[in-house]
Amino acid sequence: MASLGPMPRFGLIGGSGVQVKGEDSWTVETPWGKCILAALDSQRRVVFANRHFCTKVNEQGKADYAPPHEVNFKALIWALVVNSECTGVVALSSTGTLHPETIPVGSVVAANDYYMVNPQPVTFWGHEKIGSFEIPAGGVGRMHYSPANPQDEARLAWSSRVQTALHGVLAAVREKVKFAQGQTASSWPLIPQKETVYVNTVGPRFETRAEIRSYRGIGDIVGMTCGNEWILCEELQVPYFVICFCDNACNGLSTHPQGALQEYLESKAAIGEVTSAIVYQLVEELSKGAASGYADAAPSA
């Protein structure tokens, strides 16, 4: 295993559009399989995992692309939280908006709750030291807890830390970002006084119009990955903060005169610049000013 930097350390998860420059990467073995990680700062305090290019490792030790339904989320989260001892995780995700009238294409929002569509349980329970009401000495994890608890002190502290780290981003990219209804410069990317719900579908296909109509009564944005990561981080008692880039209106909801695809293409470049700025700023702040010349980003689910 690679020699990591001083504590605390933090995890950053990106999609296939977040590319890491340089050779500062390594492979870790977990009980669930291999995972490729990389350092985003010279101190190696910010540990990066590309969810689509980290757990499907070929015979040459290189990563193959894993679509959302094939990502090994257990290996990914275990590698960051247990192997790398990250005390907080930030995830970046490309999403579709279920309410383009209030959360427009081109906006960036942080979700604070999630809804899982997939029928299969996502859990470490039954295989690791997880599930007891009282965690024994040396044990890790939990099963009986309130997911996405808005009163969780560790979660609130991590959310505040990430928001503080992002304060310098908005001024630089304001012309590239649309605000969701109720969003302010001081609250961004959160929407104050709102429960912003991430609906996690199975993938890899997009949702049908009928599915989207039903999800509109449940949530605000749709993705295929972050709910899985969120659950596993919570089981391991590590706070998780997800930043969602709304680069498309969900199936049947686009009002763009040239259709949903053109709307997506027009928003993609601007969202990519915002993603790059966010990655750079997070690395700078979480590593306490260390050089961060490795990150180059564009949005991805």
Q: What pLDDT, in 10s, does the model give residues 242-260?
A: 999 999 999 999 888 887 7
Spans of all domains in the chain: 9-286
Pick the range with the lowest mean pLDDT from 13-22, 27-36, 110-119, 276-285.
Answer: 13-22
pLDDT of 130 above 80: no
Selection from 251, 301, 292, 294 nearest residue 271 by Cα: 301
CA atoms within 13 A on the CB side of 295: 33
Distance from the Cα of residue 149 to its chain's centroid:
18
Q: How far apart are CA 54 and CA 76, in angstroms?
A: 7
- In this prediction, residue 139 carries a pLDDT of 66
What is the CATH code of the structural domain delimited by 9-286?
3.40.50.1580
CA atoms within 13 A on the CB side of 85: 11
Measured CA to CA in angstroms, residue 211 lies from 94, 221, 239 at distances of 19, 13, 30
Pick the range with the lowest mean pLDDT from 86-90, 94-98, 265-269.
Answer: 265-269
- In this prediction, residue 294 carries a pLDDT of 37
Specify the higher pLDDT residue, 16 or 276: 276
Q: What pLDDT, in 10s, does the model give residues 142-178?
A: 777 888 888 899 999 999 999 999 988 988 898 889 9
